[in-house]
């Protein structure tokens, strides 16, 4: 039994598909064909924040925000909470729609994120270092989508990185590793669409 548990522990961190060898599955199984790849803003800086929020909007059925990334290409890149507030309101105003309900969290506490992901929300989260060695192991300022939280016997976490799109690109990690990458730039920041809620589970 100890050997089996140890072998499972050694299975992560790992890059792979929406399930681990022990049968653990992601909470948010987002179709590969709808993955969005990060783009640059008008100054060349990345739009990972708005790419991740737009991808989450796709999952939640918020159609007017699915192309948030493309909308933002005419503005300088980079993102932070007050900028997100500003451009969520601006896009909604430009398109004559009400601002959808959402929540932004600036905290190192993982409980709200875990609860939201387990309920099927695709949460956008800060990410500063890849536990599997992407980006050459260097620190980066980035935002990705959390697609599994405390899943399976390992209580594993998983993210979808908008710089690595396509099949079998999900990065699985332990909770300790997730917290380190989520909070490692001085504190965690997460964005959660609240209304409408996530789609009904496929399984």
pTM of the full predicted structure? Answer: 0.92
Q: Are 9 and 131 in contact (CB under 8 A)?
A: no
Rg (CA), the chain: 16
DSSP 99: P
* CA separation for the pair 13, 84 (Å, rounded): 30
Domains and CATH numbers, the chain: 2-193 (3.90.70)
* CA separation for the pair 103, 65 (Å, rounded): 15
* CA separation for the pair 3, 78 (Å, rounded): 45
Q: Which of 197, 198, 179, 170 is nearest to 24 (CA)?
A: 170
Task: Give the contacts of 12 (CB within 8 A, at least 6 positions apart).
Answer: 20, 154, 156, 172, 173, 174
Task: Give the contacts of 132 (CB within 8 A, at least 6 positions apart).
Answer: 13, 14, 15, 171, 173
pLDDT in tens, the chain (203 residues): 443 444 445 478 999 999 999 999 999 999 999 999 999 999 999 999 999 999 999 999 999 999 999 999 999 999 999 999 999 999 999 999 999 999 999 999 999 999 999 999 999 999 999 999 999 999 999 999 999 999 999 999 999 999 999 999 999 999 999 999 999 999 999 999 998 777 755 43
* CA separation for the pair 85, 19 (Å, rounded): 34
Q: H/E element holding 111?
A: helix 111-118
Tokens of 66: 């699915």
């Amino acid at each position: 039994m100890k050997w089996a548990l140890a072998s499972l522990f050694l299975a992560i961190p790992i890059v792979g598909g929406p399930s681990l060898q022990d049968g653990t599955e992601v909470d948010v199984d987002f179709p590969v064909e709808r993955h969005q790849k990060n783009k640059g803003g008008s100054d060349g800086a990345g739009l990972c924040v708005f790419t991740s929020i737009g991808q989450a909007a796709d999952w939640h059925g918020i159609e007017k925000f699915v192309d948030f990334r493309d909308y933002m290409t005419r503005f300088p890149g980079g993102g932070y909470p007050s900028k997100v507030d500003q451009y969520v309101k601006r896009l909604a105003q430009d398109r004559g729609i009400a601002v959808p309900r959402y929540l932004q969290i600036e905290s190192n506490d993982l409980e709200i994120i875990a609860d939201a992901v387990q309920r099927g929300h695709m949460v956008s989260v800060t990410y500063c270092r890849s536990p599997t060695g992407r980006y050459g192991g260097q620190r980066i300022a980035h935002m990705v989508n959390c697609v599994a939280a405390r899943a399976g016997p390992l209580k594993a976490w998983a993210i979808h990185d908008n710089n690595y799109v396509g099949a079998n690109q999900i990065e699985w990690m332990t909770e300790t590793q997730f917290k380190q990458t989520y909070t490692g730039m001085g504190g965690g920041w997460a964005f959660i669409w609240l209304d409408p809620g996530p789609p009904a589970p496929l399984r």
